[in-house]
Amino acid sequence: MLCYLKIVFDMGYIYVDIILKGRISRSIRALVDTGSAYIVVDPKTISEIELYETPFEVELTLTDKRRVKAKLYLAEVEAEGRRGQSSWLNSMYPHP
């Protein structure tokens, strides 16, 4: 099934407006990375939205080849009226 999203182009990056739902809901603009296995969000947003924490950690390989561990969270995501569950990682690393 196809899902059409309103995307925003900004200086070579592609963003989409989504609603992230933990215990609290919030609209955020998310950077699109079609090659990513996980969705990454900063610790402040995780705390504010109260995402559902799991007991799991995931090892990530950054673009500079460093390997780091990140906690895994669950949330519901809504985009253009479509909803689904997704896995989110806590990231303290800068992104565009």
| pLDDT (mean) for 23-31 | 89
10 belongs to a structural domain: no
Mean pLDDT of all residues belonging to the chain: 79
Of 6 and 67, which is predicted with more confidence?
67
pLDDT score at 55 = 94
DSSP lists the bridge partners of residue 40 as 89
Residue 66 domain flag:
yes
Q: pLDDT tens for residues 45-62?
A: 889 999 999 999 888 887
Dihedral (Cα; 10, 65, 42, 26), 10-degree rounding: 50
Q: Is residue 93 part of a domain?
A: yes
Residue 60 belongs to a domain: yes
Residue 84 sits in which domain range?
37-96
